[in-house]
């Protein structure tokens, strides 16, 4: 079996992964596809070394948060042979860039008929995070103006649709390659940050969701309505702004999704089946081409998710 290992902050492919021990209320899954996302890149660069030390993480495989696959050793809820998808806890969970993992049942759901392994691997964390950000943290209501910064990326293509489905008036911000998809997915207005920097965007918004992780509250503030809410994708970088909330009318929302939610994943996958949501474009690489897959994360203009085919 193969796995991606981080050694001295570099990423390499090794043979000989040992069979994972299956814990209580866990199922063992043969991983079919696994996403690569910006957090994986941060992990490779050493950005999570301190947190991994604090949590006592010793496993050499440290990247991979989402996956799809087939249950090898199942439970009553997810019998052996079931096609499943899900994600793992960033610090406590097994990393999904391995060919076999044992995962808590609460973090997975069944892949509905008609959804492929590649699209299922790029969907769970992107969809759940976008939903939590807009519905629970920002509490978007129909008719509100919502700016999705980074609307063409892995989370953005889902976030635009979720805001649209709530009935919000959506503006999407991304580079030139992302303009068409943001429009097609339901943005009333699209803006190219290379032509129009954030500071020159016209109008104010009830909610600004920043999926580019490039802006702080000070940058976003002039774009917020008097009681507007800023939701940054990176709660660590924006912790001070979140702490200042009691003293301001314009708020910064804390977005951190790390709890499994089978019911929510099932509901979101159901929306794909009915056509209410699209998973968005998926770039697929064989595991041996993992370097090329990670390279896409550094390349502007990638639309949607990047996934590795693990078998
Ligand atoms: N808080 C949580 O619980 C949680 C959970 C999951 C993910 N995340 C975070 O969510 C973020 C988004 O992930 P992702 O997979 O969607 O990333 P991604 O695919 O890399 O997308 C980044 C987006 O930002 C745009 N962008 C880049 N520079 C920009 C700029 N200067 N101004 C405006 N837009 C810009 C990109 O457009 P171009 O390609 O055209 O440049 C792209 O649309 C990441 O930081 C990730 O770590 C947070």
Which pLDDT tens digit goes with each residue over 51-80? 888 998 888 889 999 999 999 999 999 999
The rounded mean pLDDT for the chain is 94
The confidence band for 220, taking pLDDT boundaries of 50, 70 and 90, is very high
Q: 100 with 132, same domain?
A: no
**Residue 264 counted as domain residue:** no
Could you report the per-residue pLDDT of 162-177, keeping only the tens digit for each?
999 999 999 999 999 9
Confidence at residue 276, expressed as pLDDT on a 0 to 100 scale? 97
**Residue 262 counted as domain residue:** no
Residue 284 belongs to domain with CATH number = 3.90.180.10
How many domains, the chain?
2
Q: Please count the other Cβ atoms lying within 10 Å of the Cβ belonging to residue 82.
A: 18
User: What's the chain's Rg over C-alpha atoms?
Assistant: 19
- Indicate whether residue 242 lines ligand 1 (CB < 6 A): no
Q: Supply 26's token pair.
A: 């866990």
Give the distance, in angstroms, between the CA of residue 7 and the centroid of all CA atoms in the same chain.
24
Compute, in degrees rounded to 10, the torsion defined by CA atoms 214, 7, 10, 303: -50
Percent of the chain whose pLDDT exceeds 70: 99
Q: 139 with 244, same domain?
A: yes
Q: How confident is the model over 281-287, as a mean pLDDT?
A: 97
Residue 203 belongs to domain with CATH number = 3.40.50.720
Could you report the per-residue pLDDT of 239-254, keeping only the tens digit for each?
888 898 988 999 999 9
- Indicate whether residue 234 lines ligand 1 (CB < 6 A): yes
With a CB cutoff of 8 Å and minimum separation 6, the contacts of 139 are: 229
Q: Among 174, 181, 259, name the best residue to mutate to test ligand 1's pocket (greatest count of ligand atoms within 8 A of Cβ).
A: 174
Q: 115 with 138, same domain?
A: no
Rounded alpha-carbon distances, angstroms, from residue 309 to 34, 65, 208, 282, 293: 7, 14, 34, 12, 10
Percent of the chain whose pLDDT exceeds 90: 81
Nearest CA to ligand 1 atom 25: 150
- Residue that finishes a domain, picked among 236, 252, 268: 252
The DSSP code for 259 is: S
Cα(36)–Cα(304) distance, integer angstroms = 11
Interstrand relation of 189-192 and 66-73 (parallel, antiparallel or unpaired): unpaired
Q: 155 with 115, same domain?
A: no
Q: 305 with 235, same domain?
A: no
Closest CA to 84 of 106, 52, 61: 106
**Residue 242 counted as domain residue:** yes
Q: 89 with 196, same domain?
A: no
Confidence at residue 222, expressed as pLDDT on a 0 to 100 scale? 97
pLDDT at 7 over 90: no
- Indicate whether residue 150 lines ligand 1 (CB < 6 A): yes
**Residue 60 counted as domain residue:** yes
pLDDT at 39 over 90: yes
Could you report the per-residue pLDDT of 73-115, keeping only the tens digit for each?
999 999 999 999 999 999 999 999 999 999 999 999 999 999 9
Which range marks the domain in which residue 181 is found? 125-252
Could you report the per-residue pLDDT of 120-165, keeping only the tens digit for each?
999 999 999 999 999 999 999 999 999 999 999 999 999 999 999 9
pLDDT at 10 over 90: no
Confidence at residue 16, expressed as pLDDT on a 0 to 100 scale? 65
Q: Do the beta carbons of residue 168 and residue 186 sit within 8 Å?
A: no
Q: 157 with 167, same domain?
A: yes
């Amino acid at each position: 079996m193969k796995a991606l290992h981080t050694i001295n902050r570099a990423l390499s492919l090794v043979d000989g992964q040992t069979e994972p021990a299956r814990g209580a209320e866990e199922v063992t899954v043969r991983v079919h596809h696994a996403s690569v996302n910006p957090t994986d890149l941060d992990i490779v660069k050493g950005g999570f070394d301190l947190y991994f030390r604090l949590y006592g993480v010793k496993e050499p495989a440290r990247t991979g948060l989402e996956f799809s696959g087939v249950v090898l050793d199942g439970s009553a809820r997810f019998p052996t042979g079931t096609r499943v998808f899900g994600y793992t806890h960033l610090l406590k969970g097994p990393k999904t860039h391995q060919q076999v993992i044992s995962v808590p049942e609460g973090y997975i759901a069944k892949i509905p008929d008609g959804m492929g392994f590649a699209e299922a691997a790029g969907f769970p964390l992107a969809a759940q995070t976008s939903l939590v950000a807009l519905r629970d943290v920002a509490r978007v209501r129909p008719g509100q103006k919502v700016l999705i910064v980074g609307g063409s990326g892995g989370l953005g293509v889902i976030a635009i649709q979720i805001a649209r489905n709530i009935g919000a008036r959506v503006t999407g911000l991304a580079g030139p390659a992302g303009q068409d998809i943001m429009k097609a997915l339901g943005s009333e207005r699209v803006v190219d940050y290379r032509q129009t920097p954030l500071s020159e965007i016209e109008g104010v918004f009830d909610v600004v969701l920043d999926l580019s992780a490039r802006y702080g509250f000070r940058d976003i503030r002039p774009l917020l309505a008097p009681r507007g809410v800023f939701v940054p994708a990176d709660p660590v970088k924006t912790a001070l702004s979140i702490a200042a909330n009691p003293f301001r009318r314009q708020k910064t929302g804390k977005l951190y999704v790390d709890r499994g939610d089978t019911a929510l994943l099932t509901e979101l996958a159901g929306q794909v089946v009915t056509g209410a949501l699209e998973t968005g474009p998926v770039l697929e690489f064989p595991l041996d081409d993992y370097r090329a897959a990670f390279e896409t994360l550094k390349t502007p203009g990638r639309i949607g998710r990047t996934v590795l085919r693990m078998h």
